[in-house]
Amino acid sequence: MSEKDYHDIPGTVVFDADQSRQGYHLNMFCMSLMKAENRAAFKADEAGYLGRFPMTPAQRRAILERDWNGMLAQGGNIYFTAKLAATDGLSFQQIAAKMTGSTQEDYAAMMLAGGRSVAGNRSKKEQSGG
C-alpha cells in the first residue's frame, strides 16, 4: 500500500480503495451477520464460522479479540464492523468509546461538548514540528 498524505492523521484510518481491497473478506464476514442464521452460526462457533472467509490471521485475530481499531487497520470499514458490534449487543457509541479508550459516558460527554480538540490532531508532522 502506498503512503498517502492522509495517512498522517493521528489515530485515523482512512477507508480508501487500498483499505477496501485489504479488508474485502473481513467486511464480507461482517455483512454476513445481517442474516439471523449467520449470526447464530457465528455465535455458536466464532473461529469455525470465520473459516468461511479467506481472511489473514491478523484479521481473524482482530475479530475474535474484538479489537475494533485493529479491524480498521486490517481494512475493516466502521459501518461493516458495526454489524459485529450489533451481533454482540453493542451500540455504535459503545464501540466508539472502546476505540478511544474511554467509557461510554465519557465518550458521550466529550461528543456533546463538541468532540475532540483539533489541536495536535491534524497531522503527525504538526506534532513533531516537522
98-108 pLDDT, tens digit per residue, is 888 888 888 88
Q: Measuring CA to CA, how many Å separate 68 from each of 5, 58, 123?
A: 24, 12, 22
pLDDT in tens, 38-82: 999 999 999 999 999 999 999 999 999 999 999 999 999 999 999
Residues 80-101, mean pLDDT to the nearest whole number: 92
Measure the CA–CA gap between 76 and 19, rounded to whole angstroms.
Answer: 7
Measure the CA–CA gap between 72 and 89, rounded to whole angstroms.
Answer: 19
pLDDT of 30 over the 70 cut = yes
Torsion of CA 121, 125, 128, 129, to 10 degrees: -110
- Mean pLDDT, the chain, as a whole number? 87
